[in-house]
């Protein structure tokens, strides 16, 4: 089932085209990645899908709800982890999650169990009573993922989720993210400019200057791009060419 559908989406800011007539769809319970450099249009696209900004033209749907005509219904379907942390640092991890649960009108009888479940999932249950300001960057990111899951969304948006994290924290976070579709029945829509991160996705859209350049599985895109090319400069390219060819003759 296609849980996200985007058709000819365009967004312009003061005459500058940030998103240029893009179309794609995302299958339910998969990890979909937007790969591209800063300024490519990744965050703008997520902002439109999350109903934070309106498009200039085009259509977008989440769970068959129109992102522009039914924003309230769309917001019930999604969770978001922004680039910059939005946690309350003067509350504990547990308090942050309970507060978020109330905002999303999670039934009171279910809040405690849901909070415990997501804290255990991101391995922060033992630190649930610590103030968030005592958390490391990686722990804060994991807590934000937990917060994004508390109301059981159908789609979780992750905008550059590992930005600013050290390599070990990035690796730990991806362990949790890759388990989300199976353990929480959630579709993950993530943006990144790291190719190695995009490889965990079931499908990747490469975007640059607001346009989708290519789309497919990691394996399909690797086939299109081909192998690496190594350039070697020598004092005598003719002789070097003959010697290198000789090394690979059967």
What is residue 208's three-state secondary structure?
A: strand
Over residues 143-161, the mean pLDDT reads 93
pLDDT at 247: 81
Confidence grade of residue 11 (pLDDT, cut at 50, 70, 90):
very high
Number of separate domains in the chain: 1
pLDDT at 227: 57
Tens of pLDDT along 195-215?
Answer: 888 889 999 999 999 999 999
* Short-list 97, 105, 163, 174, CA closest to 130: 97
Domain carrying residue 73? 2-247
pLDDT at 250: 63
List the strands of the sheet with 211-216, edge to edge.
78-81, 155-159, 187-192, 31-35, 203-208, 211-216
Tens of pLDDT along 214-246?
Answer: 999 988 887 776 556 677 788 888 888 888 888
**Burial category of 63 from C-beta neighbours within 10 Å (exposed 0-12, middle 13-18, buried 19 and up):** buried
Say which CATH number the domain at 82 has. Answer: 3.40.50.300
CA distance 163 to 159: 9
pLDDT at 228: 60
**pTM of the predicted structure, to 2 decimals:** 0.83
- Calculate what percentage of the chain has a pLDDT beyond 70: 98
Between residues 38 and 3, the one the model is more confident about = 3
Over residues 116-143, the mean pLDDT reads 95
Structure tokens at 82: 């922004």
Q: What is the dihedral of CA 188, 193, 196, 201, to 10 degrees?
A: 20
Between residues 12 and 222, the one the model is more confident about = 12
* Short-list 57, 60, 81, CA closest to 71: 60
């Amino acid at each position: 089932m296609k849980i996200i559908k985007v058709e000819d989406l365009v967004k312009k800011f003061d005459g500058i085209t940030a998103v240029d007539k893009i179309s794609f769809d995302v299958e339910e319970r998969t990890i979909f990645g937007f790969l591209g450099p800063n300024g490519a249009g990744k965050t703008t696209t997520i902002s439109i899908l999350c109903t934070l900004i309106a498009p200039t033209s085009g259509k977008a749907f989440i769970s068959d709800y129109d992102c522009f005509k039914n924003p309230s219904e769309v917001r019930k379907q999604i969770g978001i982890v922004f680039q910059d942390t939005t946690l309350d640092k003067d509350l504990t991890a547990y308090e942050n999650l309970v507060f978020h649960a109330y905002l999303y009108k999670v039934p009171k009888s279910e809040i405690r169990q849901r909070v415990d479940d997501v804290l255990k999932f991101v391995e922060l249950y033992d630190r649930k009573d610590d103030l968030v300001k005592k958390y490391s960057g990686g722990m804060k990111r994991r807590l934000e993922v937990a917060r994004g899951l508390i109301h059981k969304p159908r789609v979780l948006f992750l905008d550059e989720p590992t930005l600013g994290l050290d390599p070990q924290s990035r690796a730990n976070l991806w362990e949790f993210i890759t388990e989300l579709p199976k353990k929480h029945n959630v579709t993950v829509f993530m943006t990144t400019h790291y190719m190695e991160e995009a490889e965990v996705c079931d499908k990747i859209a490469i975007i640059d200057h607001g346009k989708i350049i290519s789309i497919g599985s990691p394996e399909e895109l690797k086939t299109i791009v081909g192998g690496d090319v190594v350039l070697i400069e020598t004092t005598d390219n003719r002789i070097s060419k003959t010697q290198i060819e000789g090394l690979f003759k059967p």
